[in-house]
Amino acid sequence: ITSSLQLIRTALAENDDTLPLPKLVDIAIRSSQKLYRLIDSLLDVGRLETGEAGLIWQPIDPAQLVREAVEQIQPMIISHRQRLTVNMPSNLPPVEADEDMILRVLTNLLDNAIKFNSSDGQITLDVSLQETGRPDEDQPQQAPAAELLFSVSDTGPGIPPEFQQRIFERFARLETTAGVKGSGLGLTFCKLAVEAHKGRIWIESEVGKGSTFHFTLPLKHDESRTTSIDS
């Protein structure tokens, strides 16, 4: 940012029309936006870690959630010449969650799948409903608890086993297929956000075959299990 602005200042002071001012301005803008996103991610991660995220619980239609996520990442899919397949039943029940936060989790995982995928690769998003266990013995009339399972798969190079153990840690970074490293905060945010919803997140990956990130969301927000994270 600083070097671009200094060149712009020099060009203006010396009336130098040989420097590509529009390009330098674009570089400064992109760098500023990248820095803003990094600061924003740091703040979000910090709020989740300290239980001050202020989650807004509401019923969410899984189909609408997926549509919004796909709309956001569609330009990247096209520019990377990749393919996206969505497998999801049409009758999934609503899930109680913070819509903005879970939308960001889903788009982060899809964004990563695109960046780390092979050229002309395939991305698959699977959404399904699964039971988590039997009802409590003291309340046999209660239906078994249920959760939504989201799975984002790619056909990229895969992730070495030794790195899978720490991939959700803060600032753990992999190099994309284009040779670019991320901030190392996206997956940390995903982990903290999912766990704030009492869900789980994990990875399955095989070198040379691709990776799949899974996360679950309980259908119902259990007040008795809530900490100060949504106070």
3-state secondary structure of 30: helix
* Residue 230 forms part of a structural domain: no
User: What is the pTM for the complete model shown?
Assistant: 0.76
Instruction: Check residue 225 and give its pLDDT.
Output: 45
Please give the C-alpha separations between residue 6 and each of 10, 11, 15, 25, 45, in angstroms, as whole numbers: 6, 9, 14, 11, 33
Which pLDDT tens digit goes with each residue over 117-138? 988 899 999 999 998 765 544 4
Rounded to a whole number of angstroms, the CA Rg of the chain reads 21
Which pLDDT tens digit goes with each residue over 135-162? 544 455 555 689 999 999 999 999 888 8
Which pLDDT tens digit goes with each residue over 194-225? 999 999 999 999 999 999 999 999 998 776 44
What domain count does the chain have?
2
CATH number at residue 94: 3.30.565.10
Domain encompassing residue 26 = 1-50
Burial per residue of 40-78, b for 16 or more beta-carbon CB atoms within 10 angstroms, e otherwise: ebeebbeebeeeebebeeeebebbebbeebbeebeebbe
* Residue 7 forms part of a structural domain: yes
- Of 83-87, 101-105, 141-145, where does mean pLDDT reach its minimum? 141-145
* Residue 209 forms part of a structural domain: yes
In a shared domain, residues 104 and 31: no
